[in-house]
Every structure is written in structure tokens, then in C-alpha cells.
Amino acid sequence: MINFLRNAWQQLSLYLPVVLMGLLAFGTYWLVRSTPQPMPADAPARARHEADYFLRKFSVKTFDDAGHLKSEVVGTDARHFPDTDTLEIDFVRIRSFGAGGHLTTATAKRAVTNADASEVQLYGDAHVVREALVDAAGNSQPRGEFRGEFLHAFLKAERIKSHKPVELIRGNDSFTADSLDFDNVERVLQLKGRVKGTLLPGAIQ
């Protein structure tokens, strides 16, 4: 009887580590299944569209690496919004100089500009003027004037767009349309909707 028990214990001791490992694995599995899942982290709060600083009766100038004036923005009041890095300006006046020193001016009752004033959305009595110039190819380009309740000016790219009615005066020619896309670099003008124009003989450039 003693030999039988001794043999049985020896047999059991051979399988005991396997049994313990199985119990440990089952216990670990049960623990993982029973542990409460961590609460999802709160989504980061969206930045609120609130001004972080204000300006009154101001003038802001930017310069290139050589110290030449690139742009000047003047307004009565302005609000900076950090979530979009834009400046909202009341009664704005902007001067911008292109690569060749070509001057473009813009005025409106209200404007929204990006950080370097290279892109400007003008609202209310919007008026953009590009002075006459001679381009790099030696071609003379007449003064261009744009008017409307909304104008979107890309000053570095020398492009003006609007999805609202506009008036364009180019030299002695004038046009009105329901929308506008003017690319001065490519010298492409797209007018859509009800388009009317007056072209004077010999004035086409």
C-alpha cells in the first residue's frame, strides 16, 4: 500500500507543474476578462473661435529679408483668432508689393487676413486696385480695379476671385459679372453669369 501511494505521488508530481501552469493561465485569462476596461480618454477640446488679442487704430508692416516693405495693413479695430491664425479687421486698408515692386491696394469695411496678409477676404464695399506696370517680359499692363461686396485677394499670387457680383475696370475697358476669377500671372480672366462689358477700340492689351 505504501509503495502504491509512493508511486501515485511520484506520478502526480510529474504532472503537477503542468496543472499549476494551466491553473495560472486560466487565472490570468479570468483576471483579464474580469478587469474593468479603462475609460476612454476625453477627446481634446476643440479650440474655440475666440480672439486672444485686440488692436485699435493700428498699422502693421512686414518686410522681406532685404528690409524692403512687403505689406502694410491699417485698420480701426482688429481681432486675432489663434485657432485659425487669422486677423479680422474693421475698415481695412492694405498695401502689398509684389516681387517686382508692383503695388496692389485693397480696402473694405471688413477683412479677414492670414498671418502674413498674403491672402485677404474683403467684405462690404470691397475695392482692390493693381497699379499699371510693365511685366518681366516687357509687356505693359494697364491699371486694374475690382469692386464688389466680396472679393478674395491672393496678393502674392496676384489672383482675385469672387462668387458674388463684381465690377472690373481694366485700363479703359469695364466689365460686370456675377462671379470672377482673375489670374494676373497667367493673364486669364474668367467672368460668369450675367456678363456685360465695354471695350474701347485700341484699348485691348
Q: What is the dihedral of CA 18, 24, 25, 28, to 10 degrees?
A: 180
pLDDT at 184 exceeding the cut of 90:
no
Where would I find the H helices in the chain?
2-34
Residue of 131, 111, 107, 127 whose CA lies nearest to 119: 111
What one-letter code names the amino acid at 181?
A: D
Distance between CA atoms of 128 and 121, rounded to whole angstroms? Answer: 11
pTM listed for this prediction = 0.68
pLDDT > 90? residue 154: no
CATH code at 53-162:
2.60.450.10
Summarised one tens digit per residue, pLDDT across range 93-151 is: 988 887 677 888 999 999 998 887 788 899 999 999 988 877 777 778 888 899 999 99
Confidence of residue 23 (pLDDT cuts 50, 70, 90): very low
- Grid cell 477676404 is found at 121
Determine phi and psi for 29, rounding to 5 degrees.
-60, -45
The overall average pLDDT reported for the chain is 78
Average pLDDT for residues 77-84, to the nearest whole number?
A: 91
Q: Is the Cβ–Cβ distance between 92 and 110 less than 8 Å?
A: yes
pLDDT at 203: 47
CATH 2.60.450.10 spans which residues of the chain? Answer: 53-162
pLDDT of residue 45: 58
Sequence length of the chain is 205
